[in-house]
Amino acid sequence: MSLLVKICGLSTRETLDVALEAGADMVGFVFFPPSPRHISLEAARELGGRAKGRAVKVALTVDADDATLENIVETLRPDILQLHGKETTARLRDIKQKFALPLMKALPVETAADLAALPGYAGVADRILFDARAPKDATRPGGLGAPFDWHVLENLDLALPYMVSGGLNAGNVAEAVRVTRAGGVDVSSGVERTPGVKDPELIRAFIRAARATDPSSPLPVYGERSTAQRAGG
């Protein structure tokens, strides 16, 4: 299976188009006001329309209530809900039942002890995202540009698809994939010139570097979708 590449925190037509044309498999939209990548429902409607059928649309939320999720689902029509807060397994089951969408649960990682919660989440979620644990004084749980020790996942035995995030960039993505054997990578701050402002060249460079880690996943030519997308993501 080809490596999945997700560009998260997209908020403008220009950078979304760059990500799509460069062959991103997933595009993420952040609905969390404290984040510099937060977008309005109006912007999400437009960007979601541009991404439809070209990449998997991911809606990132943090401990969102049902009303917030309902507005996001109705507006963006996401393919996956990414839950990046302290949602419990019971909350995941509730969301899945109410919205009938695949769930990707972010799990903050610093040490091997942080994997203790994994079995519970793996029983409900459709995909796991391992992200760096935020500092205690952080105002948001992700997108902080800090990697975690990938060797924590080195001997991971997980049947569920999983991705890695946290401090990834074009220079270290190959090593992250080699160590973790992840089926996907997720980047946000690593393709920005300033917090929340994506850089088109950094997006292209990251996708090129990620594709180079997997010989079965060549860089698509302009306008062409990757192997993973043609197979349905």
Tell me the residue length of the chain: 233
131 in catalytic set: yes
For residue 161, name the pLDDT band (cuts at 50, 70, 90). very high
Tokens (6 digits) for 214 = 């997997």
79, 131, 186, 214: which one is catalytic? 131
Question: Which three-class secondary structure state does DSSP give residue 13?
Answer: helix
**Distance, CA of 23 to CA of 5 (rounded, Å):** 8
Which of 8, 25, 79, 214 is labelled catalytic?
A: 8
Q: Taking residues 205-230, what's their average pLDDT?
A: 61
Pairing relationship of beta strands 192-194 and 184-187 according to DSSP bridges: unpaired
Q: What is the pLDDT of residue 1?
A: 55
Dihedral sign, CA of 66, 69, 70, 71?
positive
Predicted model pTM? 0.88
Q: Binning pLDDT at 50, 70 and 90, where does residue 80 land?
A: very high
Q: Are 104 and 129 in contact (CB under 8 A)?
A: yes
Q: What is the pLDDT of residues 130-140, one digit of tens each?
A: 999 875 555 54
Cα(226)–Cα(14) distance, rounded to whole angstroms? 20
Using alpha carbons only, what angle is made at residue 187 by residues 196 and 206, rounded to the nearest 5 degrees? 105
Secondary structure letter of residue 52 according to DSSP: T
Burial zone of 184 (CB within 10 Å; 0-12 exposed, 13-18 middle, 19+ buried): buried
Is 8 in the active site?
Answer: yes
Tell me: the pLDDT tens digits for 36-76?
A: 999 999 999 999 999 999 999 999 999 999 999 999 999 99
Residue 119 burial (CB count, 10 A): 10
3-class DSSP state for residue 12? coil
pLDDT score of 8: 97
**Lookup: tokens for 110:** 């610093």
Which pLDDT belongs to residue 5? 98
Backbone phi and psi for residue 22, each to the nearest 5 degrees, phi listed first: -80, -10
CA distance 96 to 25: 23
Confidence of residue 223 (pLDDT cuts 50, 70, 90): very low
Residue 143 pLDDT level (bands cut at 50, 70, 90) = very low
